[in-house]
Structure 1
Amino acid sequence: MEQIIRTQRPLTGVIRQLRPSDLPRFAEHLLRLDDQSRRDRFNGLTHDGFLQAYAERSFREGATVIGYVEGDKVLAAAELHERAEESEPTAEIAFSVEHKIQNRGIGGRLFQRLVAQARGLGYLRLQVTTHANNSAMKALARRFDAKLSFQQGETNGIIELDGAAGLDADWRASAVLGRRGAGKAIAA
């Protein structure tokens, strides 16, 4: 029996904060998500009109959006949305990675960058919510010491930033100084 060996193309993009002018690219990224990736990101099926409005609302309401960008396309994104109603500075986080580059470490790199950004903005706590079957998101959240709870078919996680794991000391120091992540190519 002959085995087919598939080689993945190398990742050549950069992880950077998306600018207001990147709104169309962010919306296109969300629209390219397959059904399962949309379920994972939004905890259910979504229609194209919702995704377009969501992208516009994210930029209009001041969310921080970090993207993995190759050429002129956003292929993955991590979002930081302030939860102003909380007593401590808190933000909700969310991630989306297009199917063709999933399981390549992009989610972890985006998570690191988002945590550094959240710290820089003075947040003390991050919240993440996903459906019970999103094992990739739950594993990623655990990597960063999220305390997970399960309620009514959803997984809720809290990450206390004063002790978040997953960032080594060198990364923390360089992130604080702003020397890592912005515009740096990712090696596969």
Structure 2
Amino acid sequence: MQNTAFHAVPPTGMIRQLRPSDLPLFREHLLRLDAESRRDRFNGFTDDTFVSTYADRCFADGTTVIGYVEDGAVLGAAELHERPEEDIPTGEIAFSVERALQHRGIGRMLFKRLILNALGLGYYRLLVTTHPENEAMKALARKFGAELTFEAGEAVGVIKLDAAMAAPLLQHAQAAAMEQPRL
């Protein structure tokens, strides 16, 4: 049973794009994921070597990585991978939030920021793939308009992007930015 008092505590960190110098923090985040969260993120079993190599590849190939950063640690991440083989500008997205912070709205905040980045980069659609049991990811994708189908044992979703999506997301982002601490 989940501790509802814990989940009621709002996150205190910051959502921001990760810089190349944040690669070690991103890698550490992925390596800290428990077995179920890692399975949810990568759609199957992965060992530490795979995860480390994957993190390095994300920063080497230009993947956009948005992080939830709290106390100098990346505790959640959203990734936007370009799919250049598609006929129209398309990105594939992936999310991970560490177990202790799940169900606190961090995935939703990461999703909003990632959609804004995708719109800014000129993408027309986003693809999301997860295993059929990942109810949290499927629900989150549906909140942002994903049409899910099931193919080869996976849930596959497509989110069609348009400028109308940007206005409410920008308002939310501006309000959140006003709450961020100034250095």
1:28 aligns with 2:21: no
Q: Does 1:96 align with 2:96?
A: yes
Which residue is equivalent to 2:135? Answer: 135
Residues 1:69 and 2:69 aligned together? yes
Assess if the C-alpha contact under 8 Å between 1:65 and 1:77 holds in 2: yes
Note the 1:1-188 alignment, pairs <5 A: 6-7=5-6, 10-162=10-162, 169-172=167-170, 179=174, 185=180
Q: CA, structure 1 residues 184+81, in 2 after alignment: closer, same or farther (shift >3 Å)?
A: farther
User: Given the two structures, how large is their TM-score scaled by the length of structure 2?
Assistant: 0.89
Tell me if the contact between 1:26 and 1:55 (Cα under 8 Å) persists in the aligned partners: yes
| CA distance 1:170–1:128, change in 2 (3 Å) | closer
Query: How many Å separate the matches in 2 of 1:145 and 1:67?
Result: 22
d(CA) in 1 for partners of 2:4, 2:78 = 31
The CA deviation at 1:152 is: 1.8
Contact 1:144 1:164 survives alignment (8 Å): no
Q: Are the aligned partners of 2:10 and 2:104 in contact in 1 as well (CA < 8 Å)?
A: no
TM-superposed CA distance for 1:170, in Å, is 4.1
d(CA) in 2 for partners of 1:163, 1:142: 18
Counterpart Cα distance in 1 of 2:164 and 2:155:
19
The higher relative CO (CA closer than 8 Å, separation ≥ 6) is in: 1
- Judged with a 3 Å threshold, the aligned counterparts in structure 2 of structure 1 residues 19 and 183 are, in CA distance, closer, same or farther, namely farther
Report deviation, 1:157.
Answer: 0.2
Unaligned 5+ residue runs, structure 2? none
SS of equivalent residue, structure 1 residue 46: coil
* Residue-pair matches, total: 178
- How far apart are 1:11 and its partner, in Å? 2.1
Kept in 1: contact 2:116–2:169 (CA 8 A): no
For 2:4 and 2:107, how far apart are their aligned partners in 1?
A: 24
- TM-score (normalised: structure 1): 0.87
Structure 2: which amino acid aligns with 1:85?
Answer: E
Q: CA deviation at 1:171?
A: 3.0
Compute the displacement of 1:135 (Å): 0.3
- Alignment RMSD, CA only? 2.3
Q: Identify unmatched segments of 5+ residues in structure 1.
A: none
Give the drift of 1:18: 0.2
Identical counterparts, % of pairs: 60
Q: Tell me how far 1:75 sits from its aligned partner.
A: 0.1
Distance (Å, rounded) in 2 between the aligned partners of 1:56 and 1:29: 13
Q: CA deviation at 1:71?
A: 1.4
Conserved? CA contact 1:171–1:180, under 8 Å: no
Q: CA deviation at 1:7?
A: 3.9
